[in-house]
Amino acid sequence: MLRHDESTIKGPMKILLVNDAATPGGGAEILTLALRDEYRQRGHDARVFASTAAYGSQPREAEYTCFGTTSTYRTANRVINPSAWFSLRKALRDFQPDVVHVRMFTTQLSALILPMLRHIPSVYHATWREVICPIGLKLLPDGSICNQRAGTCCLKNQCVSAAAWGPLILQQQMCQRWLSAFDRIVANSDSVRESLIAEIEQPVIVIPNGVPVTPQRPALTSPPTVSYCGRLSREKGVEVLLRSFHAVLKRIPEAQLILVGEGELRSELESTTKNLDMASQVTFTGHLCRDEIEKQLAQAWVHTVPSVCAEGFGLVAAEAMMRGTAVIGSRAGGLLQVISDPKTGRLVPPGDEDALTQALLQFLEDRSVAECTGQAARKRALQEFSQAACAESFLNLYQLVIDERKTAK
C-alpha cells in the first residue's frame, strides 16, 4: 500500500461514496461526508449515495437517496431493500463514477446492491464487523468477545431475537457471497482487519480513519475535568466510567465529568448519578452539533473511551488527540492502534473500574502530566490520523484499482 505522500493520482476522478445514512450525527456518517468534502477541495467530483433514514435532527446531505427507516421495519429493509437497488442503479447510470467507495451498508441499504458493482472499480471500507456479525460487534451479551462464526450461535447466545435471526443470518450469507464484487477490502484498523481475515477469504488492507485538523485546545484550567463523547449504550462502558469517577471524587471532590451524547441508557445513567450523589459533578449534554462539542470538550483534562466492546477504530479518541487532549481507552480493538500508552494516553482492561480510576487520577492529580500527554497526542494525531492523509491514501487506492481494471480489459 502506498503512503499518503506517494501520490499516483493522474487527474480528477468521479467518486461515489455509499453509506447507510448521511445525517452528520454518527461517526460513519461524519467520515463519509468529510471524505466527500475533502475530495471536492482537491478538484474531484465526489457525491454521496445514502438512505433517507435520519439519525438525529440534522439534515440529510446525500446527493442520491433511497428509502430508509428507523422503524420496526428496519430489520426487513436492511436485508432486502429494493429501493436501494433501483436507486443505486439509477445513480450509477446518471453519474457514471470512476470508482465506488462503499462504507456501512448493512443497516439500511442491504447486500442487494453489491452484485451491480462487479463491473465498476469499487472498494469496501469496513469500519466495523458488519459483514461477519449480525450486530457488527463480535461481542456476546455478557461483554466477552465472540469467536464463533455467525449462525445458530447468534440465537443460542441471545445476541439477536428469534424473529430477527433468520433475516439477519440471510443477510450475513449475502454479504460474504458478494464481497468478491469489490476490487479491494479496506479495514480502518488492524483489529478490524484481523477479524475479517479470520472469516473471509479475501485479502484486507488497512487505512486508518482521518479526522479534521482542529485548533489546539487552550491551556487547562480548574476544575479537573473528564470527558466522554458517544452513544450512551451498554457496549460503550459509560456505567464503568460513572463508577470509576465516583471513586475519583473521593480524592478530588471538585472534579467534573461531561457526558456528550444520547442513547437508550441515558435515564438509567442519570439515575445512577443521582444514587451515587454526584449529580452536581456530572453533566449530561445530550446530542450537540460539532462546534458545540469542540467547545464543551476543550476544557477536558482527559478524554475517556471506556468501551467494553472492541471498537473498530475509536474515532473520538483520534478527535480528542487532535484537540490536544490525553486519552484513556480500553485495551482492545482499534484503540490499541490509536492510543500509544503511556505517550499519548493510557490503555486499561475493558470493564476494569479500578484500572480506569487509577488512570484518571494520574491525569487529574497532575495538570502537567495531562498537558504533556495531550501535546504528544496532538503531535501523533497530526502525523498519523489527519483527514488529509486518509483521503490521499484512498485516492491512491482508487487510482490503483482503476488502472488494474483498464489493464485487465
Residue 5 pLDDT > 50? no
Q: Are residues 160 and 290 in the same domain?
A: no
Q: Are residues 79 and 160 in the same domain?
A: yes
Q: Are residues 390 and 378 in the same domain?
A: no
Give pLDDT, residue 112. 93
Comparing 284 with 291, which gets the higher pLDDT?
Answer: 284
Any domain includes 217: no
Q: Distance between CA atoms of 237 and 243, rounded to whole angstroms?
A: 10
Q: Are residues 206 and 266 in the same domain?
A: no
pLDDT tens, 307-318? 998 888 999 999
Q: Are residues 28 and 52 in the same domain?
A: yes
Any domain includes 32: yes
Question: Could you tell me the three cell numbers for 369?
Answer: 502530566
Contact 48, 63 (CB under 8 A): yes
pLDDT tens, 186-196? 999 999 999 99
Any domain includes 1: no
Q: Distance between CA atoms of 322 and 376, rounded to whole angstroms?
A: 10
Average pLDDT, integer, range 34-53: 96
Average pLDDT, integer, range 170-180: 92
What CA–CA distances, in Å, run from 384 to 272, 378, 381, 389? 38, 10, 5, 7
Give pLDDT, residue 6. 55
Tell which residue, 19, 38, 212, 202, has the closest CA to residue 128: 19
Any domain includes 215: no
Q: Are residues 56 and 104 in the same domain?
A: yes
Comparing 398 with 27, which gets the higher pLDDT?
Answer: 398
Q: Are residues 191 and 246 in the same domain?
A: no
Give pLDDT, residue 4. 44
Q: Distance between CA atoms of 392 and 386, rounded to whole angstroms?
A: 10
Q: Are residues 200 and 235 in the same domain?
A: no
Residue 88 lies in domain: 14-210+386-408
CATH number of the domain that residue 71 is part of: 3.40.50.2000
Q: Are residues 194 and 279 in the same domain?
A: no
Place of cell 430508509: 68
Tally of structural domains, the chain: 2
User: What does pTM read for this prediction?
Assistant: 0.87
Any domain includes 307: yes
Contact 279, 271 (CB under 8 A): no
Q: Are residues 156 and 304 in the same domain?
A: no
Any domain includes 200: yes
Q: Are residues 351 and 391 in the same domain?
A: no
pLDDT tens, 295-346? 999 999 999 999 998 888 999 999 999 999 999 999 999 999 999 999 999 9
What is the residue type of 374? G
Any domain includes 7: no
Q: Are residues 325 and 400 in the same domain?
A: no
Any domain includes 142: yes
